[in-house]
Amino acid sequence: MKIRSAGLLTAAIALSSLLAACGGGSTPTSTSSQAGGGTLVIDTAFQLKTADPGRMFEPTGLMVDESIYDTLLTFKGSDVTKPVPALAESYTAAPDGKTFTFKLRTGATFSDGSPVTAADVVFSLNRVKNLKGNPSFLMDGLTVAAPDPGTVVITSEKANAAVPFILPNPALGILNSAVAKQHGATDAEGADKSDTAESFLNSQSLGSGPYTLSSFSTTTQVVLTANEKYWGTKPAYSKVVVRNVQANVQRLNVLKGESQIAVDLSPDQAKGLDQLQVVNGASPNVFFLFTNNNPDISKTSSNAKFQEAVRYGIDYKGLLDLAGQGAVQAPGIVPSIFLGALADTDAVVRDVARAKAALAASGVQNPTVKLSYPSDIQVNGLNFGDLAARVQANLKEVGITVNLAPASVQTALDTYRGGKEELGLWEWGPDYPDPSDYLNFLPGQLVGLRAGWAKGTDAALEKLGEQAASTIDDQQRAALYKQIQQSMNESGPIMPLIQPAQILVGAKSLKNLQSNALWQVNVRELG
């Protein structure tokens, strides 16, 4: 689950979670766990609104669109540290980090056999920008041009080393622009009001990927069919069915062979499945706690010494026990698998004595605070309520009374986005696998403001953020992001907690089953 504008925790996600909890989707007519022409069935709890890449930014949509739309660059397997060629066979970056030139590969075609051209790329990326939908921020500050049919030039207003890491996002999938225009698509300014192509793109796809869209439902299942004119390695399956199924039913289905992949099992649910493949590693999602830094919201939570008491009062290792095998403590806000992540040894360690001393120094007597969180969703099989109860118990040992304030995701989002929560427990999933995405947590930025951390609160930290955003060299960038997180671990209102386990369970017959930080399952790479 992504949390941008609170990530992607939208009303649609809350609805899809509710639907998933009511049971699975319809059963496909035939299944096979053998590569080379059968049907692959994937069970997941839907977080899905649309298949239109210009409007799509939900986890299930990312999985679906990655299978049917190619992007300029992509990631191989589970490795999101290095963008690799896709529709672009090569690219160069100018020394100033502002201009990126992509040479398109020859022979790439859309599913109708027409060639992919630079004009299609320009149209598709400008459409994402001008639709002003959930993924439009990916194109912030970027302009796209096509000096010739085989070349695309992307220019950034500011130096931006993250551009190659942004482009693999399936929301930036390339459409057959000629056909898209025939069905109401436009890339012009005002597309948010004039583009009418979504319903068509929810009925059939216009991509160049290994699969095409056969049927689409946000509540039951999505069916993909092998693209017979795919320009790359032919897909292993003739059909892929992605079904909306709750986690406990996913486990039963994959055990019985009624599905080949279960996406949403918790570590406990994945135990005892020795007859299946279990891919288990740390999720890129980060659970975090914040104490509101705005004294108008709470004089208690904004007290720096109170924040120190909370930071050192949390039993991080105990949270890992709750999260299960594969989960790790988040040593900083940048996930462990990304450039600039802190080492495990940099993580905050619980120190009850220090927490009690800080609380005494705060001058706050017998503090009582309210902890808000969404109560009706899970991330990687982990309930916010279970984490909140552990935090409550931890801080009670320090002398802080925490009153739990669970709410539906829609209600909780309103207070979170409005910066009104005294204490908040939330999660952030990567919009793209680059540490610049986590500058959102600094004072004056998206998440910082939700934590009451106003611009100008920490001038030194903000300057570091500006420097990191404009630095091009990866070694220098990594050092700056580590310095930023070390500063955040010393003081401030935001406390990273854990990265839960990300688990995929699959049939033994599957080849190359890997999870990906952006699109969960590499459907196109399965054999």
Measured at the CA of 176, the angle between CA 171 and CA 179, to 5 degrees, comes to 125
* C-alpha distances out from residue 504 to 27, 61, 159, 261, 395, Å: 20, 17, 37, 7, 34
Measure the CA dihedral 15/18/19/22, to 10°.
-170
Quote the CA–CA distance of 398 and 313 in Å, as a whole number: 6
**Which residue type sits at 225?**
T
* pLDDT value of residue 32: 41
* pLDDT value of residue 377: 82
Residue with tokens 């919201």: 297
* pLDDT value of residue 15: 35
- Residue 247: CA count within 13 A, CB half-sphere: 18
Quote the CA–CA distance of 301 and 295 in Å, as a whole number: 8
- For the chain, list the domains and their CATH numbers: 11-268+503-525 (3.40.190.10), 286-499 (3.10.105.10)
DSSP 91-120: EEE-TTSSEEEEEEPTT-B-TTSPBP-HHH
141 contacts 156 by C-beta, under 8 angstroms:
yes
Measure the CA dihedral 505/508/514/518, to 10°.
-40
DSSP designation for 266: -
* C-alpha distances out from residue 180 to 114, 308, 399, Å: 13, 54, 61
Quote the CA–CA distance of 275 and 271 in Å, as a whole number: 11
* pLDDT value of residue 488: 98
- Element of type H or E holding 404: strand 401-407
Tally of residues, the chain: 527
349 contacts 495 by C-beta, under 8 angstroms:
no
List, in order, residues 6 or more apart from 22 with CB less than 8 Å away.
246
Taken in order 365, 396, 329, 297, the sign of the CA dihedral is negative
Phi/psi at 436 (5° precision) = -60, -25
Quote the CA–CA distance of 485 and 281 in Å, as a whole number: 22
Residuewise pLDDT in 10s, the chain (527 residues): 344 443 433 333 333 333 333 333 333 433 443 335 799 999 999 989 999 999 999 999 999 999 999 999 999 999 999 999 999 999 999 999 999 999 999 999 999 999 999 999 999 999 999 999 999 999 999 999 999 999 999 999 999 999 999 999 999 999 999 999 999 999 999 999 999 999 999 999 999 999 999 999 999 999 999 999 999 999 999 999 999 999 889 999 999 999 999 999 999 999 999 999 999 988 999 999 999 999 999 999 999 999 999 999 999 999 999 999 999 999 999 999 999 999 999 999 999 999 999 999 999 999 999 999 999 888 888 899 999 999 999 999 999 999 999 999 889 999 999 999 999 999 999 999 999 999 999 999 999 999 999 999 999 999 999 999 999 999 999 999 999 999 999 999 999 999 999 999 999 999 999 999 999 999 999 98
List, in order, residues 6 or more apart from 321 with CB less than 8 Å away.
none
Quote the CA–CA distance of 350 and 268 in Å, as a whole number: 26
Quote the CA–CA distance of 146 and 72 in Å, as a whole number: 13
Quote the CA–CA distance of 221 and 453 in Å, as a whole number: 42
Quote the CA–CA distance of 274 and 13 in Å, as a whole number: 32
Residue with tokens 């309520």: 385
- DSSP H helices, 421-517, are 446-450, 459-470, 474-490
**Which residue type sits at 303?**
N
Query: What does pTM read for this prediction?
Result: 0.89
DSSP designation for 517: T
* pLDDT value of residue 314: 98
Strands 142-148 and 88-93, how do they pair? unpaired
Strands 239-244 and 211-216, how do they pair? unpaired
